[in-house]
Amino acid sequence: MPVPASHNESTELKALDLAHHLPAQADYQLLEDLGGSRIITHAEGCVITDIDGKSLLDGMAGLWCVNVGYGRTELAEVAYQQMLELPYYNTFFKTATEPAIRLAAKIADKMSEGNPDLKHVFFNSSGSEANDTVLRLVRHYWTLKGEPERNVIISRRNAYHGSTVAGMSLGGMSFMHTQGGPLVPGIEHVRQPYMFNEGFGEDPIAFADACVKDIEDRILSVGPDKIAAFIGEPVQGAGGVIIPPETYWPKVEALCRKYGILLICDEVICGFGRLGQWFGHQHYGVKPDIIAMAKGLSSGYLPISAVGVSGAIVEVLKTGGDFVHGYTYSGHPTAAAVALRNIEIMEREDLIARTREVTGPYLAQALQRLAAHPLVGEVRSLGLIGAVEIVAEKGTNTRFKGTEGTAGPLVRDICIKNGLMVRGIRDSIVMCPPLIISEAEIDQLVSTIEASLNEAEPQLRAL
């Protein structure tokens, strides 16, 4: 175990952090009022440790990404060896590197399960960049096909596709749209398949049909010959782990085919085993034309992302000369070497099947223990991603103080105090642990949430 830093070192770092470092997605005044960020210094397996020596079970796999868990010496060694041999080279000058090529082939192999035409890969460094690539690629594709007016992309409200201008414009988070606009034009947002909030008590199949009808209505109102693509996360992650009814995706796919629209899956969270398949769309049995992936691709050990592209699309790209798009770090050999080994670890340890057949069902069953809790409106999970909805009145979806966002942060903070890192999204406690999580750790995760709900209840009732 690492030795906790001295009190002085901890205080110094927190002061420097406040003075100079602007962390992501943060309220800088609030951070100052709280005395600075929690500084994470060490991690092993599913446990993270902070500078003051406090250990937490990492129920979030970092930020939905550390699928193989922390402390994989093997990944550090691969990075070290690759850096000695060739730390960096680009793919701009009709050049490529062995790790990028081998990783592309490995990803193609995983994508081809049930979808043999999905076999090409474009590399980037983050999920947001992957979605920027998607946006440019899709519009370029339709221009080459002689239909440049087909440039509208349909997305869902409350979707998350990243933080760059293209990413947040594609995303459907209204609180992000109000900062740093204007947005990228030509993006339409439709209904999300969020049963608990938007179809409470309805029949799931009828609810899914209504969501799909909203997409079709929008296609028709914008004009079918103007729609380039539909994009969606198989399961919405940052939106609050929104698991659609099983009929939703096949019907979305059928709609895309009906109108000749490209189907894009944002697999940044669902990819690499999260739902018990290599990719989330494979769980739903649909065949996207394009997929974006990041996070679990390298288990977060180095920044790398990829866009999977069908052979049919690449044939069209070949008619257009240069695709004038790419990043300095596209196909970064060190990141690619680490990602490749990360996938090999998942294969060797059979983490996908284990998630599907062992730990995913175990988590679902463990969460059922919370279903009867007076504060819990719903528990839901698929593979190793899940959510607990907190409500003010059992049997309804009524929230504390009549609006979302009071209970979630409160319960989250109590979970963290009790040694569990989870996220509170509105009034959902969401979890997404490393795929190596043990059954004992799943029990610990669920019982910590339960204890934290118990602790929060009197405070919430007193509001």
Of 160 and 196, CB closest to ligand PLP: 160
Binders in 176-235 for ligand PLP, by CB under 6 A = 233
Of 297 and 456, CB closest to ligand PLP: 297
Q: In this chain, which stretch among 155-163, 188-196, 353-361, 389-397 interacts with ligand PLP, using CB under 6 A?
A: 155-163
Cβ of 46: how many Cβ atoms within 10 Å? 25
Using CB under 6 A, which of 269, 297, 313, 446 touches ligand PLP?
269
Of 382 and 410, CB closest to ligand PLP: 382
Find out whether 247 and 205 touch, Cβ atoms under 8 Å: yes
Question: How many residues sit in the footprint of ligand PLP (CB under 6 A)?
Answer: 16
| Backbone φ and ψ of 78, nearest 5° | -60, -45
Least Å distance, CB 162 to ligand PLP, is 4
* Short-list 55, 37, 33, CA closest to 45: 55
Least Å distance, CB 365 to ligand PLP, is 26
Using CB under 6 A, which of 68, 238, 293, 367 touches ligand PLP?
238
* Short-list 67, 41, 44, 65, CA closest to 54: 41
Q: In this chain, which stretch among 111-119, 154-162, 415-423, 430-438 interacts with ligand PLP, using CB under 6 A?
A: 154-162
Find out whether 138 and 126 touch, Cβ atoms under 8 Å: no
Q: Rule CB under 6 A: is residue 273 a binding residue for ligand PLP? A: no
Least Å distance, CB 1 to ligand PLP, is 31
Of 67 and 163, CB closest to ligand PLP: 163
**Tokens representing 61?**
């796999």
Q: Rule CB under 6 A: is residue 266 a binding residue for ligand PLP? A: yes
Binders in 300-359 for ligand PLP, by CB under 6 A = none
Using CB under 6 A, which of 59, 162, 172, 386 touches ligand PLP?
162
Q: Rule CB under 6 A: is residue 62 a binding residue for ligand PLP? A: no
Least Å distance, CB 16 to ligand PLP, is 24
| Backbone φ and ψ of 394, nearest 5° | -50, 140
Using CB under 6 A, which of 104, 219, 231, 294 touches ligand PLP?
294
Least Å distance, CB 108 to ligand PLP, is 21
Least Å distance, CB 240 to ligand PLP, is 12
Q: Rule CB under 6 A: is residue 160 a binding residue for ligand PLP? A: yes
Using CB under 6 A, which of 14, 150, 161, 380 touches ligand PLP?
161
**Tokens representing 170?**
């594609």
Binders in 109-138 for ligand PLP, by CB under 6 A = 126-128, 131
Three-state SS annotation for 44-113: EECEEEECCCCEEEECCHHHHCCCCCECCHHHHHHHHHHHHHCCCCCCCCCCCCHHHHHHHHHHHHHHCC
Radius of gyration of the chain (CA): 22
**C-alpha dihedral, 136 to 142 to 146 to 151, nearest 10°:** -80
Name the residue whose CB lies closest to ligand PLP: 127
Q: Rule CB under 6 A: is residue 268 a binding residue for ligand PLP? A: yes
Of 251 and 274, CB closest to ligand PLP: 274
Least Å distance, CB 116 to ligand PLP, is 25
**Tokens representing 387?**
């959510």
Of 269 and 376, CB closest to ligand PLP: 269
**Pairing assessment for the beta strands 40-44 and 47-50 based on DSSP bridges:** antiparallel
Instruction: Check residue 393 and report its DSSP letter.
Output: S
Q: Rule CB under 6 A: is residue 67 a binding residue for ligand PLP? A: no
Of 126 and 334, CB closest to ligand PLP: 126
Of 58 and 233, CB closest to ligand PLP: 233
Of 238 and 306, CB closest to ligand PLP: 238
Least Å distance, CB 124 to ligand PLP, is 9
Find out whether 216 and 251 touch, Cβ atoms under 8 Å: no
Least Å distance, CB 291 to ligand PLP, is 11
Asked if the bond preceding 224 is cis, omega within 30° of 0, the reply is no
What is the rounded distance in angstroms from the CA atom of residue 392 to the CA atom of residue 304? 41
DSSP string, 281-326: HHHHT---SEEEE-GGGTTTSS--EEEEEEHHHHHHHTTSS-----
Amino acid at site 124: N
Strands (E), 87-195: 118-124, 152-156, 187-190
**Tokens representing 460?**
């919430």
HSE-CB at 386 with a 13 A cutoff on CA atoms is 30
**Tokens representing 272?**
């690499």
Of 215 and 238, CB closest to ligand PLP: 238
* Short-list 104, 193, 109, CA closest to 155: 193
Cβ of 200: how many Cβ atoms within 10 Å? 14
Using CB under 6 A, which of 36, 69, 193, 237 touches ligand PLP?
237
* Short-list 17, 48, 12, 49, CA closest to 31: 17
Least Å distance, CB 325 to ligand PLP, is 17
Q: Which residues bind ligand PLP (CB under 6 A)?
A: 64, 126-128, 131, 160-163, 233, 237-238, 266, 268-269, 294
